[in-house]
């Protein structure tokens, strides 16, 4: 049921985040701030070689060092599996630089580091495979016997009849794009504190996007019931698609704790941060599409090659996700997708910020822009002509109950002055369009995509809302309090959001696939409706009316149209408990999409970037980004703007600067001094246009805004650079040397 804006009293206003004062005054606790009595400090020994046989390991000097309390060697980790078929520690061969081989725990970080350096490992170097091309060559040895041709996994989809569609096209464009490895670069470095000192009970403090995924991963590895792994999520210092599931250091901290009988903390130092975990790896995108001369886009074909590293970590999910985005934006007749994961001697790659979808859109957005140019059409016109709309069903069977894509394109084009600028700017100035779609949740990781919530109403008229959704900065806890406040007619600051302990939190799949606002939001709405029904029953009896007639608004409950009969919320909560019945109000609710898989709602967006390029240095300056986003409904508008800003930053950072520069399997720039991100002075002005399409299934019409913006920015900036220099650059980041090379070619 859609609700008119004027009927809402809490949703849509600017609310300060509930945890803001603590975060701004140093009172917020993060995992690295936790110090447990007797806690030890762990350090991991990792392979310096991309591919080597482990001949021998001598840990005697480390074990003899005073202050060392536990040493873990490959045989101690036998039978512990992480990711897909990856032993926790390298058993016979190290298959990538950074492959974990041993770990130590000691009284302090210095002693642990010293002990790690005393573990002598003799290696026999093997010839490494460090590129997709090399891995696929006929004479390259296999990294895993089962992965024929070093293809770890392959998946193909086809919708409609692509060959027939291509045959009916007047213009076909075919080209290749490349993106490189990146790092999620959260402010808070990787850290895990494990307490495995009680047999069969593991407690862990770590930043996470999904306590459930961590709990399940750790429980499976240590053969425990899920509930005997207690995840304590404090504040999470940024997620950016990089903290969805446990990584080797989480398992190692647990193992060291079990062996030493003391809690253990493992925390990454500056260069370790880049060696132990990275985001996505190199991806090659071969794209082909066709249109009629009138600009009817008919077919898109994509063939993607992913460097998945020595094992498969998350890249299967990335291929599944990217495939669905072929069909998400344009009304096409058919499409074809192939994704292949290729093994190399790189670390098992994870998710880029943007989940691989933003990076795919970098390629697809430029490709479609190019196709429009091929037939002499303005990209804005071309996009509008082919854009999906409300009530459209995609080729992969996603129904759009709401869709503001056209409105986003029109509004951003108008605000940015597209018509006056496109094709009319002086040389080395450019303007570019980027459009995107993003699912609110993606059922498929589990059979369900459930979030649950509890709310208790105390006799002082306040409430505690329990959820299992982590807040890693996106202000989701405040958003949930806004939804709760709207249902109950109270304000977000009346509500304590309680979360971060799997012993007590209701189930939540977590804060990934942009499912929080939609799924947990609906769960919270359902729980609060349950509590409201309980209160309404008491109020209805007092007022002598039907419970259905009651309005909950501005801390009052009254029959619709009769605010003079209002009971104060606080009084009602008090009277409900303090009566002979002694009712205590607790609402419960959950939400799970009724679909078999996929998503109930997509957000849409369009951004226009304006850039200037210095032809002497190749430096790209982003001058302005105009961003229009259909978020269904903005629950907290200023926070929505903040989400857009942060994603413009991250996308600009990835498209212009960020790259883990790889050479012979090594990261050449493993520090935040050498791995560049934009500084304050490099940021453009960002103009926000929030488009509200009030999704019929979203809580108060809301859809995600967690990754919708990032999928638009990379292509917008890349298209603007193409417009500025007159040539497309098909690999990112668009660093000065790449831009110069193209200018001077």
Show the 3-state SS of 8-56.
Answer: CCCCCCCCCCCCHHHHCCCCCCEHHHCCCCCCEEEEEEECCCCCEEEEE
d(CA 256, CA 277): 20
d(CA 625, CA 607): 7
d(CA 146, CA 584): 59
d(CA 40, CA 20): 32
Q: Measured over all CA atoms, what is the biggest interatomic distance in the chain, rounded to whole angstroms?
A: 86
CB atoms within 10 A of CB 58: 12
> Which of 33, 664 has the CB closer to another protein?
33
Q: How far is the CB of 39 from another protein (least distance, A)?
A: 11
Do 613 and 724 touch, CB atoms closer than 8 A?
yes
DSSP state string for 92-130 = SEE-STT-EEEEEEESSHHHHHHHHHH-EEEEEE-----
DSSP-derived letter for residue 565 is G
Closest alpha carbon to 511 in 268, 182, 146, 211: 211
Question: What is the SS3 assignment for 596?
Answer: coil
Closest alpha carbon to 118 in 72, 68, 59: 59
Q: How far is the CB of 496 from another protein (least distance, A)?
A: 18
Q: How far is the CB of 356 from another protein (least distance, A)?
A: 18
Q: How far is the CB of 357 from another protein (least distance, A)?
A: 18
Cis peptide before 384 (omega within 30 of 0): no
Q: How far is the CB of 6 from another protein (least distance, A)?
A: 25
> Which of 182, 440 has the CB closer to another protein?
182
DSSP state string for 402-424 = S--HHHHHHHHHHHHTHHHHTTT
Cα 96 from chain centre: 25
Q: How far is the CB of 149 from another protein (least distance, A)?
A: 38
CB atoms within 10 A of CB 370: 18
Rg (CA), the chain: 27
Q: How far is the CB of 353 from another protein (least distance, A)?
A: 8
d(CA 176, CA 301): 12
| Phi/psi at 251 (5° precision) | -70, -40
Do 531 and 587 touch, CB atoms closer than 8 A?
yes
d(CA 220, CA 229): 10
Show the 3-state SS of 157-186.
Answer: EEECCHHHHHHCCCEEEEEEEEECCCCCCC
d(CA 313, CA 729): 30
d(CA 9, CA 615): 53
Q: Cβ-count burial of 134 within 10 angstroms (0-12 exposed, 13-18 middle, 19+ buried)?
A: middle
The residue assigned the tokens 């997620």 is 239
Cα 290 from chain centre: 31
- β-pair partners for 175: 287
> Which of 263, 290 has the CB closer to another protein?
263
Angle at Cα 690 formed by Cα 685 and Cα 695, nearest 5°?
Answer: 155
Do 325 and 438 touch, CB atoms closer than 8 A?
no
* Axis crossing angle, helix 569-577 with helix 521-543, rounded to the nearest 10: 80
- E-strand ranges in 375-471 read 429-439, 451-457, 463-467
d(CA 548, CA 551): 8
**Residues of the shown chain interacting with another protein in the complex, contacts defined by CB under 8 A:** 16-17, 19-30, 32-33, 35, 185-189, 235-238, 240, 269-270, 273, 472-475, 638-639, 641-642, 645-650, 652-653, 671-673, 677-681, 683, 686
> Which of 32, 301 has the CB closer to another protein?
32
Q: How far is the CB of 295 from another protein (least distance, A)?
A: 35
Do 515 and 449 touch, CB atoms closer than 8 A?
yes
Closest alpha carbon to 431 in 9, 723, 639: 723
Catalytic annotation present for 707? yes
Q: Which of 610, 641, 692, 707 is catalytic?
A: 707
CB atoms within 10 A of CB 164: 12
Residues marked active site are found at 707
């Amino acid at each position: 049921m859609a609700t008119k804006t004027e009927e809402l009293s809490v949703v849509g206003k600017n609310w300060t985040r509930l945890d803001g004062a603590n975060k701004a005054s140093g009172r917020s606790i993060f995992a690295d701030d936790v110090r447990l009595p007797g806690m030890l400090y762990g350090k991991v020994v990792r392979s310096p070689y991309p591919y080597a046989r482990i001949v021998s390991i001598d840990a005697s000097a480390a074990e003899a060092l005073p202050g060392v309390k536990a040493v873990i060697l490959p045989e101690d980790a036998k039978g512990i599996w992480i990711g897909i078929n990856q032993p926790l520690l390298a058993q016979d061969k190290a298959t990538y630089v950074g492959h974990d081989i041993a770990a130590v725990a000691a009284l302090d970080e210095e002693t642990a580091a010293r002990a790690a350096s005393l573990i002598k490992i003799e290696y026999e170097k093997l010839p490494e495979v460090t590129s997709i091309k090399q891995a696929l060559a006929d004479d390259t040895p296999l990294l895993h016997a089962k992965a024929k041709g070093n293809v770890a996994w392959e998946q193909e989809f086809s919708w409609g009849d692509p060959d027939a569609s291509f045959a009916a096209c007047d213009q076909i464009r075919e080209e290749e794009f490349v993106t490189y490895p990146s790092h999620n670069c959260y402010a808070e470095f990787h850290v895990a504190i494990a307490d495995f000192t009680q047999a069969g009970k593991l407690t862990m403090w770590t930043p996470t996007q999904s306590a459930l995924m961590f709990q399940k991963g750790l429980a499976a590895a240590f053969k425990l019931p899920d509930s005997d792994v207690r995840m304590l999520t404090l504040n999470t210092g940024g997620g950016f698609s990089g903290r969805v599931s446990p990584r080797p250091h989480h398992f190692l901290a647990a193992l060291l704790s079990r062996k030493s009988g003391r809690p253990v903390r493992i925390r990454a130092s500056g260069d370790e941060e880049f060696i132990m975990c990275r985001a996505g790896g190199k991806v090659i995108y071969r794209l082909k599409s066709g249109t009629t001369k009138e600009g009817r886009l008919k077919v898109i074909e994509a063939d993607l090659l992913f460097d998945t590293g020595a094992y498969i970590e998350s890249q299967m999910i990335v291929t599944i996700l990217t495939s669905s985005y072929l069909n998400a934006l344009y009304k096409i007749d058919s499409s074809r997708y192939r994704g292949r994961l290729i093994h190399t001697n790189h670390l098992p790659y994870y998710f880029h910020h943007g989940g691989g979808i933003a990076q795919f859109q970098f390629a697809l957005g430029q490709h479609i822009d190019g196709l429009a140019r091929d037939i002499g059409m303005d990209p804005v016109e071309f996009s509008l002509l082919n854009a999906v709309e409300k009530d459209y069903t995609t080729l992969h069977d996603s129904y759009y109950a709401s869709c503001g894509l056209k409105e986003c394109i029109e509004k951003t084009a108008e605000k940015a002055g597209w018509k006056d600028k496109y094709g009319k700017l002086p040389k080395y100035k450019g303007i570019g369009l980027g459009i995107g779609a993003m699912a609110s949740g993606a059922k498929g990781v589990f059979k369900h995509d459930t979030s649950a919530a509890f709310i208790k109403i105390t006799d002082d008229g306040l409430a505690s809302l329990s959820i299992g959704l982590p807040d890693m900065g996106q202000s989701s806890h405040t958003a949930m309090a806004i939804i709760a406040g709207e249902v109950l007619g109270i304000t977000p600051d009346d509500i304590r959001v309680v979360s971060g302990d799997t012993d007590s939190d209701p189930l939540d799949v977590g804060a990934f696939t942009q499912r929080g606002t939609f799924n947990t939001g609906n769960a919270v709405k359902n729980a609060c409706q349950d509590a409201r029904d309980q209160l309404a029953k008491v109020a209805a009896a007092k007022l002598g009316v039907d419970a259905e007639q009651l309005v909950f608004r501005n801390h009052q409950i009254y029959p619709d149209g009769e605010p003079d009969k209002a009971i104060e919320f606080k009084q009602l909560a008090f009277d409900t408990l303090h009566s002979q019945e002694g009712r205590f109000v607790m609402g419960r609710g959950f939400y799970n999409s009724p679909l078999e898989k996929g998503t109930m709602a997509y957000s849409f967006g369009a951004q226009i970037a304006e850039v200037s390029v210095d032809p002497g240095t190749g430096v790209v300056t982003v001058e302005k980004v105009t961003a229009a986003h259909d978020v269904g409904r903005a629950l907290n508008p200023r926070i929505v703007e903040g989400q857009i800003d942060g994603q413009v930053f991250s996308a600009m950072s990835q498209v212009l600067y960020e790259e883990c520069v790889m050479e012979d399997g090594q990261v050449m720039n493993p520090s935040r001094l050498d791995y560049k991100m934009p500084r304050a002075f490099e940021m453009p002005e960002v103009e926000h246009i929030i488009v509200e399409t009030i999704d019929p299934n979203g809580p108060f019409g809301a859809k995600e805004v967690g990754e919708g913006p990032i999928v638009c920015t990379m292509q917008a900036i890349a298209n603007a650079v193409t417009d500025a220099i007159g040539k497309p650059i098909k690999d990112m980041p668009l660093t000065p040397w790449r831009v110069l090379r193209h200018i001077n070619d």
